[in-house]
Amino acid sequence: MVDISLLAQAEGVTSPAWPLRVLRATAPRRGIPITAISALGLLLAWALATKFKLVAPLFLPSPFEVASQFYSVAVDGFSNATLLQHVGTSLFRVLSGFAIATAIGVPLGLAMGMNRWVRGIASAPIQLYWPVPPLAYLPLVIIWFGIGETAKIILLSLAMFAPIVISAQAGVRSVSPSRIQAAQSLGATRWQVFRHVVLPSALPEILTGLRLAIGSGWGTLVAAELVAATKGLGFMTMSAAQFLVTDVVFVGILTIAALASIFLFALRTLERRLTPWKGQE
């Protein structure tokens, strides 16, 4: 047993939060992540449900059937395109929308957090459209921009834009006024205060917004590829659903989930590298 009080005295810890930090430091390391155990449990439950025919194969194919169909789609293709071509098309659309939303949303959110006039002008339209599902304004996007790639990328950009703006604004608003006052008392200019105080302090919130945005983008992909698409994971999934090819539907869903998880992992890794101080006193 570890005497926490002795550890605290040895380290000279006087912060009220010391018990939590000591417990984290002395907690045993797990060999297998809980997330992996949860995923294996879901996979096992799925396999058992199909093995004992608790659900008809039309509605829930077995994991082995989905794996076989995954190989078939990767090699032979589906809807006149291979899986790699569907993935490439969807990646281009999501990344293009993400780049546009980030390039416009981060500066606008920072400006909204620092200037009440910008906040007053931009808040109303963002707050009005953000709760609206992308499928609701999809017809307007089609009327205004047609049925080509432009409309799809704009729809994805709109889905990702609001979380980025609001997170960047929240990051600026969360900056401690004492830090700004300390920098100003040392003779820092407005640009230096922004560069060395405001931006680093807002960065964790901005990166959180980027994670939320990329999730919204992948969630909107199927809606974006509903109209006049000939390639893409959303198009493949909806085409398979129309013909009741459920195993291909699962291939599309799992591929989208895997790609989204890779993006989220990359952003979390970037967040740990850029903001190592996050969560620390």
pLDDT of residue 134: 86
pLDDT of residue 280: 62
pLDDT of residue 25: 45
What are the pLDDT tens digits along the chain (281 aa)?
444 344 344 444 444 444 444 434 444 455 567 878 888 888 888 888 888 888 888 888 888 888 988 998 888 888 888 899 999 999 999 999 999 999 999 999 999 999 889 998 989 899 888 888 888 888 899 899 988 889 999 999 999 999 999 999 999 988 888 888 888 888 888 888 888 888 888 999 999 999 999 999 998 988 888 877 888 998 999 888 888 889 899 999 999 999 999 999 999 999 888 888 776 64
Separation of alpha carbons 231 and 225, rounded Å: 8
- pTM for the whole structure: 0.80
What does the chain look like in DSSP terms, one character per residue? ---HHHHHHHHT--STTHHHHHHHHHSPPPSS-HHHHHHHHHHHHHHHHHHTTSS-TTTS--HHHHHHHHHHHHHH-SSSS-HHHHHHHHHHHHHHHHHHHHHHHHHHHHHHHH-HHHHHHHHHHHHHHTTS-HHHHHHHHHHHH-SSHHHHHHHHHHHHHHHHHHHHHHHHHTS-HHHHHHHHHTT--HHHHIIIIIHHHHHHHHHHHHHHHHHHHHHHHHHHTSSS-SSSHHHHHHHHHHTT-HHHHHHHHHHHHHHHHHHHHHHHHHHHHH-TTTT--
Q: Which of 198, 261, 187 is nearest to 35 (CA)?
A: 261
